[in-house]
Amino acid sequence: MAAAGALAQAPSPSANLALTPPMGWNSWNKFACNVSEDMIKSMADAMVKSGMKDAGYVYVNIDDCWQVSRDANGNIVADPQRFPRGMKALGDYIHSLGLKFGVYSDAGSKTCAGRPGGLGHEYQDALQYAAWGVDYLKYDWCNTTTQDARASYANMRAALDASGRPIVLSICEWGKAQPWLWGKQVGGNLWRTTDDIKDRWGGPEKWPDGSCCSNGVLAILDLQVGLQSYAGPGHWNDPDMLEVGNGGMSDTEYRSHFSLWAILAAPLISGNDLRDMRPEIHDILTNKEVIAIDQDALGRGGERVAKDGDLEVWSKQLQDGSRAVVLLNRSEKGQQITVHWEELGYPASLGASVRDLWAHKDLGKFTGKFTGAVASHGVVMVTVKP
Ligand code: GLA
């Protein structure tokens, strides 16, 4: 009994992971299955050289398609053509730059791209990941047939913990079984709330190629309404990885995408080619004032506090008692948007300093409300500090 009690109290190696939303890069949105050791290494180099590392991005995550088979003992095998020096060497290289190493697998029999999944190999894979120096596992949900989501992810967390290495667990179940209700209890550090993001602004209209639907920035944003209370240090809602810089949206729209993900306290996992960024894209991804809102230590999720047709106000409480505010204009023309202090939980009589986080400018002291001129599909993002 004493031994069992001691075991139950042993701190989990994953106890202090992701106390702020994870920041990094992932291969999927830009490269899909076209991953290789050379590409990942050059991306890690670019993360350092571009200033992304200095801005807080740390995880270098390989998504689907690095794995090809299992060997006679059931060990997962990385593609020997694309990763000729093996995963341990790649992890060592990433670590040598002061960055962290992430891989992808799937709770079912196969990954979404049809590679071997983790089902039945959870403990074996976790030990292998730990031996490679993996710091982050994105665990997908394809080919899971009748599996129970909560039990499947609890099992993988237990396997990761048993490996002895602290490994972030990214639950990629697309929100089907409401993972915000159980993700924290099973030791998930983040959980996808929706299907895969598309590099598009719009809502749930049909795409030009006739395929259906949704999953642009606005559609995903709308699905985050009401989830804010589930976010907190160590466990985050994940509205999917960033599309900033991938070419399907305007710079104004990318600025909005980034601002909204930051106010949501979403993981900031960039998904563009870091080796080849226009200055405008670089300046969006490395805006330290906006990143500071995402990374605020209180760990509150942002919420929509006002909506008048296409004009919205989003607010997030910060550790120092101030608020981050995004004024969002979803309409096709420039418009004025006003945030009233009561919407932020402040009395109307309060005087507060307003700072613009994109202009990097103090705008002065305001009482009761603040009005910003917001471009079509744009945001004004400010802090309001009593
Ligand atoms: C699913 C996930 C994506 C990506 C692909 C890889 O669609 O939701 O983020 O990992 O699988 O196949």
pLDDT tens-digit series, residues 2-39 = 444 445 566 788 889 999 999 999 999 999 999 999 99
Whether the pTM exceeds 0.75: the reply is yes
Q: Please identify which of the residues 135, 140, 161, 294 carries the catalytic annotation.
A: 140
Give the residue whose CA is nearest to atom 5 of ligand 1.
112
Question: Annotated catalytic, 140?
Answer: yes
Residue type, 302: G
* Residue 27, pLDDT score: 98
The CATH number corresponding to 17-294 among 3.20.20.70, 3.40.50.10470, 3.90.550.10, 2.40.110.10 equals 3.20.20.70
Question: Annotated catalytic, 196?
Answer: yes
Regions of the chain where pLDDT drops below 70: 1-10, 203-214
pLDDT digits (tens, 9 = 90+) for 86-129: 999 999 999 999 999 999 999 999 999 999 999 999 999 999 99
Burial class, 148, CB count within 10 angstroms (exposed 0-12 / middle 13-18 / buried 19+): exposed
* Residue 31, pLDDT score: 98
Question: Would the CB of 172 count as within 6 Å of ligand 1?
Answer: yes
Query: How many angstroms separate the Cα of 13 from the Cα of each of 130, 169, 214?
Result: 12, 12, 38
- Whether the Cβ atoms of residue 104 and residue 66 lie closer than 8 Å to each other: yes
Q: Please identify which of the residues 196, 222, 273, 356 carries the catalytic annotation.
A: 196
Instruction: Give the C-alpha separation, 46 to 274, whole Å.
Output: 6
* Residue 209, pLDDT score: 63
The CATH homologous superfamily of the domain defined by 303-385: Golgi alpha-mannosidase II (2.60.40.1180)
* Residue 202, pLDDT score: 83
* Residue 205, pLDDT score: 57
Question: Would the CB of 122 count as within 6 Å of ligand 1?
Answer: no
Question: Would the CB of 33 count as within 6 Å of ligand 1?
Answer: no
Question: Would the CB of 199 count as within 6 Å of ligand 1?
Answer: no
Give the residue whose CA is nearest to atom 1 of ligand 1.
112
Nearest residue to 56 (alpha-carbon basis) of 198, 311, 269, 244: 269
* Residue 307, pLDDT score: 98
Instruction: Give the C-alpha separation, 138 to 248, whole Å.
Output: 25
Query: How many angstroms separate the Cα of 336 from the Cα of each of 3, 257, 339?
Result: 64, 19, 10
- Whether the Cβ atoms of residue 187 and residue 170 lie closer than 8 Å to each other: no
What is the residue extent of each domain of the chain? 17-294, 303-385
Give the residue whose CA is nearest to atom 8 of ligand 1.
196
